Structure 1
Amino acid sequence: MDFVVGGLAGVGAGFFSNPFDVVKTRMQLQGELRARGQHAVHYKNVPHAMFNIVKHDGIAALQKGLAPALWFQLVVNGVRLGIYQHADDYGLLRDKDNKTKFANSLFFGCISGMCGGLCGSPLQLVKTQLMSYSSQKIAVGTQHAHPGMIDAMQMIYAKNGLLGLWRGAHGMMMRNSVGSASQIASFSVCKEWMDNNDVFQQSKYLSAFIASNIGALVKTIFLNPMDVIMTRIYNQAVDANGKGIMYDGIGDCAKKIVKAEGLLAFCKGMGPSYLRQAPHTVLLLVFWDMLKDLQKSIELHT
């Protein structure tokens, strides 16, 4: 049941944050391996990006990749929040005074995120390629003309086999381990501190709301560089053997980005990334708290 609760919380949050994910993906691909000033700028900031996307592709384009995005949330958060909750249920996260052990929370957040990343990697691959596809006038990165999620998976499988769907999975595991550990640990510690010190207790879920905002900020700062790398790796074209044409792996991608675009390229899309992470983290973790309360209530009455 813990896995179902975590998955449903992720789906609820994913629907509202998806437009910012589309913008983030486009901005991270913009100017790929080109120096500043040597490429067209279709997406200057979040409002400008949204305006251009709606202007050229229609308002529905802001929800591109929604199907794999929601499935990704269901799978990844079902696995990672389920594992994390199980660790808590078995007493692995708290001391004798029932206070969260930060190191343990960080460790299980990392492990659970890594497992979720492995399970959800094919969906993230398809989601990235669907989100990046646009009108030629505002196109960035490699353009994959997939009609939809199922067609994309079938095309990738037909061309590169089952392993082709897990291309870049090692990077997604690393990305998710960092993101999950920083998000869950900071949320848990902040919320517990506020609850124990009677801070922001005016409403039952106010402390969860504040703590999740802090979790979103921490996650965005730690996650964005790896997120840029993974967006590039997932979106690149591949040869007949399923090998990336532009990047051989995480290290090669990072090195080429620094050489061509400079270190600041790892901050690309940080604005929409936070605007995505903030409501997503808030909704995810507040939904998680609410669903856990509902689960406990059901268990008490059965």
Structure 2
Amino acid sequence: MNSNRMVVAQRGVIPPPKHYADSAWFKYILSCCAATTAEMVTYPLDLAKTRLQIQGEKGLNGSSQRSPYRGLASTGVGIIREEGMLRLWQGVTPAVYRHLIYSGTRMVLYEKVRDRLFTTRADGTRPVWQAIVGGILVGGIAQFLASPADLIKVQMQMEGKRRLEGHAPRIHSAGEAFIKIYNAGGLRGLWKGCMPNVYRSAFVNLGDLTTYDSVKRYFVNTWALSDDYWTHALSSACSGLVSAVMGCPADVVKARIMNQPTDSKSRGLLYRNSLDCLLKTVHNEGFWALYKGFIPCWLRMGPWSLTFWLTYEQIRNLSGTSAF
């Protein structure tokens, strides 16, 4: 019983539950609203993270085209100074489109899998291994469906930097990027970088969904904390940190695969596949290059997770939907 129903119950009147409040389509809409809010708030951090991850790549001719390695704050200030304030949200449109597919799918699927297949112990907790499998599975499926939007987002994020370096613009809008990618490689081209994207999402969901769900239930059932704002905030802080640690290496590979130039058959000119990108990155730049951009990655995933889960839990409560 959520808080608003408890207040009414104390007055002696319990309203009938709304017939749509716990339906899959309604939860899908709520998760999309929460994800859009989190994306708009934290998107500049994602842009800075992507710029940092691309730095230091080896070009086709073997020369390193390096930009000065700048931290999160100086990268953000540099973007504002060189490209303008609004460029901090460059690529946000496909990012929102992505979450309309990705977040809605992963949240609804995970809840369905959890409620129907997970084992519930007497104390209300569930086996962590089941949560891990569930998080990896739904994260991979959701990201596969949303991969074209992610591809467009990454390419738009790098446009400002390309123009400053004197290159001709590749794209001017999300629609133009979609058409250009499709014309160059067909449907297959829209899923360029799909596998590192799916791997990344599987690990991120292992950190996000699995950690949040498991930690929250541990706090509520073992520590007897209330299922309220502070419990949500503490659980989301844990999930943001674990997500960053698990997802950063795959995120670096994903960004480089998606940003690389391609031939007429939509084949990468720098990396053959995800494994090739991983090995070349480690060989040319060292292991810790896989954690390049980790701080902005963490600083982005932490606030994103906090904003998303607080928003999601609150609008579920206000809508009469049961707690996650």
Question: Shared fold by TM > 0.5?
Answer: yes
Match of 1:215 in 2: 239
Given that 2:192 and 2:258 are in contact with CA atoms closer than 8 Å, whether structure 1 keeps it comes out as yes
Q: 1:51 to 1:107 in 2, by over 3 A?
A: same
Q: Of the candidates 69, 73, 76, which is equivalent to residue 47 of structure 1? A: 73
Q: Of the candidates 199, 205, 210, which is equivalent to residue 185 of structure 1? A: 210
Matched ranges for 1:49-88 at <5 A: 49-88=75-114
Given that 1:88 and 1:94 are in contact with CA atoms closer than 8 Å, whether structure 2 keeps it comes out as no
Q: Is structure 2 residue 47 aligned with structure 1 residue 5? A: no
Q: Is structure 2 residue 179 aligned with structure 1 residue 154? A: yes
Structure 2 distance, partners of 1:206, 1:91, is: 29
Q: 1:155 to 1:39 in 2, by over 3 A?
A: closer
Matched ranges for 1:139-178 at <5 A: 139=165, 145-178=170-203
Deviations 1:271-302 (A, max 9, x none): 1101110110111122222233244x169xxx
Match of 2:317 in 1: 293
Q: Of the candidates 232, 246, 252, which is equivalent to residue 276 of structure 2? A: 252
Given that 2:225 and 2:231 are in contact with CA atoms closer than 8 Å, whether structure 1 keeps it comes out as yes
Structure 1 unaligned segments of length 5 or more: list them.
none
Partner amino acid, structure 2, of 1:4: I
Match of 1:235 in 2: 259
Question: SS in structure 2 opposite 1:81?
Answer: helix
Structure 2 unaligned segments of length 5 or more: list them.
1-25
Match of 1:123 in 2: 149
Question: SS in structure 2 opposite 1:134?
Answer: helix
Q: Which moved more, 1:258-267 or 1:280-289?
A: 280-289
Q: How many angstroms does 1:267 deviate by?
A: 1.1
Q: How many angstroms does 1:152 deviate by?
A: 0.2
Q: Of the candidates 119, 137, 144, which is equivalent to residue 111 of structure 1? A: 137
Partner amino acid, structure 2, of 1:190: V
Question: SS in structure 2 opposite 1:238?
Answer: coil
Given that 1:133 and 1:143 are in contact with CA atoms closer than 8 Å, whether structure 2 keeps it comes out as no
Matched ranges for 1:269-280 at <5 A: 269-280=293-304
Q: 1:259 to 1:211 in 2, by over 3 A?
A: same
Q: Which moved more, 1:152-161 or 1:163-172?
A: 163-172
Deviations 1:213-239 (A, max 9, x none): 110100101110110000000011110
What TM-score, normalized by structure 2, do the two folds share?
Answer: 0.84
Q: Of the candidates 288, 307, 311, which is equivalent to residue 283 of structure 1? A: 307
Partner amino acid, structure 1, of 2:194: A
Q: How many angstroms does 1:189 deviate by?
A: 1.6
Deviations 1:234-291 (A, max 9, x none): 0111100010010110110011111111111111110110111011011112222223
% identical aligned pairs: 24
Deviations 1:152-187 (A, max 9, x none): 000101111111101121221111111101211111
Match of 1:266 in 2: 290
Question: SS in structure 2 opposite 1:248?
Answer: coil
Structure 2 distance, partners of 1:45, 1:144, is: 26
Given that 1:199 and 1:207 are in contact with CA atoms closer than 8 Å, whether structure 2 keeps it comes out as no
Structure 1 distance, partners of 2:268, 2:125, is: 46
Structure 1 distance, partners of 2:161, 2:269, is: 23
Given that 1:130 and 1:146 are in contact with CA atoms closer than 8 Å, whether structure 2 keeps it comes out as yes
Structure 1 distance, partners of 2:168, 2:46, is: 17
Q: 1:101 to 1:298 in 2, by over 3 A?
A: closer
Q: 1:291 to 1:267 in 2, by over 3 A?
A: same
Q: Is structure 2 residue 55 aligned with structure 1 residue 25? A: no
